[in-house]
Amino acid sequence: MIRKNRHIEYYLALSIILASGLFLVIISAPNKNLQMLIVLLTTLFYAIFGIFHHIINHDLNGKIVLEYLIIAGFGMAAVFFLLKGGLGL
């Protein structure tokens, strides 16, 4: 019996959000400020989408919200560090 993942739509939508953000960052390459804005908006959509997913599934709690905010913050900080010339690369 084949078991369908009940969250496949969520993973697909999340992949589209993140891939779209990456695509927009790549095509706006010369403009670092625009890239930083796109990264900020992508991480914001990531966190909001994840939190709404848990609200819909009735399993949202403070730890989940904190997890989404921390992961979004770490990702944003890493990208900002690289865009601002971190490590001299």
pLDDT tens, position by position, 55-82: 998 889 999 999 999 999 999 999 888 8
Q: Can you tell me the mean pLDDT for 7-15?
A: 89
Tell me, yes or no, whether 77 lies in a domain.
Answer: yes
Tell me, yes or no, whether 38 lies in a domain.
Answer: yes
Q: Which residue blocks in the chain are alpha helix, DSSP H?
A: 8-27, 32-56, 62-83
Max CA distance (Å), the chain:
54
Tell me, yes or no, whether 3 lies in a domain.
Answer: no
Tell me, yes or no, whether 70 lies in a domain.
Answer: yes
Cα 38 to chain centroid distance, Å, stands at 11
Q: Quickly tell me which residue has 């589209």 as its tokens.
A: 16
pLDDT tens, position by position, 18-53: 999 999 999 998 898 899 999 999 999 999 999 999
Least Cα distance to 36 among 47, 21, 46 occurs for 21
Count of domains for the chain: 1
How many residues make up the chain in this entry? 89
Q: What is the pLDDT of residue 2?
A: 59
Tell me, yes or no, whether 73 lies in a domain.
Answer: yes
Tell me, yes or no, whether 56 lies in a domain.
Answer: yes
Q: What is the pLDDT of residue 7?
A: 78
Q: What are phi and psi of 76, to 5 degrees?
A: -65, -45
